[in-house]
């Protein structure tokens, strides 16, 4: 795959700056994995194999995609855009922060192997920090916001209840800012964004910010972790 460094360069620059802050003791390359309660409102595992779709937004889609690709019961995950129109679903335009889009990940999963509530637990604990408003780590802008795009009323009910559950228990030291919105459309990101962590494991951004998330998944949820690469 040929990388378009015209578009990946800003993220690389952010990583370099963040690395300098890290050396100075002003930052952390990856948030520590949170120990979260299981969702009280959830559906039981299905009795038959099937396929459902979930869409999550939590900062750079490279890392979120990498995390879910390693979750048991997930068939595949794709990077893309949600929240805006088809006309503006292009990386260079989305990066302006003015399109309504969020960098998002579409997750195909088998409900007989993993529940939506379990995917939410992974999303909130190791995939991103839900208390950061319109940013994640070195990336800032509305395109990096924390959001759940539900595909049906059941997903909306489970996601809303889980956020309320964690908020009431003060699970996080700050307010959860995750939006819960209906999925109107998901637009696939450019080819060079797909499987970026797998294909570019030595990329500075992946090393600093995304591989630690996968490692946290393996450490905190060994029962759900699947080695893919």
pLDDT band at 3 (very low <50, low <70, confident <90, very high): very low
Q: What average pLDDT does this structure show over 137-144?
A: 96
pLDDT band at 34 (very low <50, low <70, confident <90, very high): confident
Please give the C-alpha separations between residue 7 and each of 4, 21, 136, 193, 194, in angstroms, as whole numbers. 6, 23, 18, 10, 14
pLDDT band at 87 (very low <50, low <70, confident <90, very high): very high
Contact 15/200 with Cβ under 8 angstroms?
no
Q: What average pLDDT does this structure show over 91-103?
A: 98
Q: How far apart are the first and last CA of the chain?
A: 17
Q: What average pLDDT does this structure show over 185-209?
A: 97
Q: What residues are annotated to the active site?
A: 60
pLDDT band at 17 (very low <50, low <70, confident <90, very high): very low
pLDDT at position 229: 83
pLDDT of 222 above 50:
yes
pLDDT at position 199: 97
């Amino acid at each position: 795959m040929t990388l378009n460094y015209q578009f990946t360069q800003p993220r690389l620059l952010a990583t370099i700056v963040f690395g300098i802050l890290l050396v100075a003791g002003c930052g952390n390359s990856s948030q520590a994995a949170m120990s979260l309660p299981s969702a009280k409102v959830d559906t039981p595992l299905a009795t038959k194999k099937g396929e459902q779709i979930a869409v999550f937004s939590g900062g750079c889609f490279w890392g979120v995609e990498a995390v879910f690709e390693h979750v048991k019961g997930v068939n595949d995950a794709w990077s893309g855009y949600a929240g805006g129109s088809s006309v503006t679903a292009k990386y260079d335009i989305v990066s302006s922060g003015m399109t309504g889009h969020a960098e998002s990940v579409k997750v195909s999963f088998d409900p007989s192997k993993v529940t939506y509530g379990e995917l939410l637990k992974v999303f909130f604990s190791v995939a991103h920090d839900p208390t950061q408003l319109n940013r994640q780590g070195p990336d800032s802008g509305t395109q990096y916001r924390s959001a759940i795009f539900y595909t049906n009323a059941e997903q909306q009910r489970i996601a809303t209840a889980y956020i309320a559950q964690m908020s009431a228990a003060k699970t996080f030291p700050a307010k959860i800012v995750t939006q819960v919105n209906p999925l109107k459309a998901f637009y696939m990101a450019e080819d060079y964004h797909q499987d970026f962590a797998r294909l570019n494991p030595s990329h500075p951004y992946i090393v600093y910010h995304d591989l630690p998330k996968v490692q946290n998944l393996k450490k905190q949820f060994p029962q759900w972790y699947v080695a893919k690469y």
